[in-house]
């Protein structure tokens, strides 16, 4: 079975938009209520972060993932991850700061939030609007792919 890239983040952090880009689709963007499996991605509902009892669904879903992308929205760097959150995953975790073309003053807050959640390196800063960082992220994912038989 081919492994997918799982996206985790708060509501409106850009998960579905990034999933569309990684899947090379232009599906309608709407509030994700259920886990959505794309050809290369697993898009998870932001609501799964709002209640620690929902983490079990993230853990189970991550079993089909080669990597987990943990997203933080630079335009709204709300604290949504528990300290050490990423330890629940058994695959590589990558930090992604979305909307990096906005609210530059929030960059350090985003990095610190990812660090508190347990993300080390790498951390990618991306903008879907300007295309910043997208090629670097995709190149990294391709070069570190596993379980893609």
Answer yes or no: is 148 within a domain: no
Say if CB 72 and CB 13 are below 8 A apart: yes
Instruction: Give 120's DSSP letter.
Output: -
Q: Which domain holds residue 88?
A: 4-143
Answer yes or no: is 149 within a domain: no
Number of domains in the chain: 1
In 3-state terms the chain splits into helix, strand, coil percentages (rounded to 5) of 35, 20, 45
Give the DSSP letter string of 8-56: EESTTSSHHHHHHHHHT--PPP----S-EE-SSEEEPPGGGGS-GGGHH
pLDDT at residue 1 in the model:
46
Return averaged pLDDT per consecutive 10 residues of the chain, 149 residues in all: 87 94 84 85 92 92 95 94 95 97 96 96 95 96 71
Answer yes or no: is 84 within a domain: yes
pLDDT at residue 31 in the model:
67
CATH of the domain at 59: 3.40.50.300
pLDDT at residue 45 in the model:
94
């Amino acid at each position: 079975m081919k492994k997918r890239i799982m996206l985790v983040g708060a509501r409106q952090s850009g998960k579905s938009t990034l999933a569309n880009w990684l899947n090379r689709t232009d599906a309608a963007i709407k509030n994700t209520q259920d886990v959505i499996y794309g050809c290369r991605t697993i898009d998870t509902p932001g609501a799964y972060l709002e209640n620690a009892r929902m983490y079990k669904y993230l853990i189970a879903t991550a079993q089909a993932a080669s990597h987990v992308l943990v997203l933080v929205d630079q335009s709204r760097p709300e604290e949504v991850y528990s300290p050490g959150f990423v330890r629940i995953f058994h695959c590589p975790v990558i930090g992604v700061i979305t909307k990096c073309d906005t609210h530059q003053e929030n960059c350090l807050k985003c990095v610190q939030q990812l660090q508190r959640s347990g993300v080390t390196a790498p951390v990618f800063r991306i903008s879907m609007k300007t295309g910043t960082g997208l090629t670097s992220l995709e190149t990294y994912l391709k070069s570190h792919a596993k379980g893609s038989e």
